[in-house]
Each structure stands twice: as C-alpha cells, then as structure tokens.
Amino acid sequence: MNAWTALIALALPMMAFAAGDPKVGNTLHDKQCVACHVRLMGGDGSSIYTRDERIIKSLPALRQRVAMCATQIDAKWFPEDEDNVAAYLNQRYYKFK
C-alpha cells in the first residue's frame, strides 16, 4: 500500500463521520442512550462522557463505541444513525478534530 492509498484509507471513515448530523444524533441519543447511562452512572448519565478515566480518545474510537452500544441495546440503527450520534457526542463532549 503506498502512502496515498494509506492516507485515503484513513480519511474515508473521517469523511463519513463528518457527514453525521448532531441534531439528529441528539434525538437518537436522548431516546435510546440516556436511560442506560443513567443506570450505569447515576444522575443524568452524562458523566459517562466526562469522567477522568474515559476510554474514548479519538474519533474512530468514538464511532466504534457508538456502534458497540447500539448493538448492545439492539437500537436497530443504520450506520448513518450511528454517525449522527457520534457527531452529536463529539460536538457536545469530546471535541475531536
């Protein structure tokens, strides 16, 4: 694999992620994620994103975690739904570039 091919392979997931709509993601998140996070963390559940020992340290890791959680709760989301939720979480909590 040459350098350009590797660069494109790395950029494609980011381009797809960038297409996520945070407003739609917020709605999906509130509907299907909050209750689980409240059970796990207490309060309003948002401390799962802001805790000191959080494990999400990159956009790809965020997208992967959203997909895993969606599977775990059987959200029946399409990949674009996962992108929307990841875009919302990134905008609201993570601020990855």
Residues 27-74: tens digit of each pLDDT: 999 999 999 999 999 999 999 999 998 889 999 999 999 999 999 999
- Name the band, by pLDDT with cuts 50, 70 and 90, for residue 97: confident
Per domain, the residue ranges of the chain are 3-94
Buried b (16+ CB within 10 A) or exposed e, 33-50: beeebeeeeeeebeebee
Residue 89 contacts by C-beta under 8 Å, 6 or more apart in sequence?
25, 29, 49, 62, 66
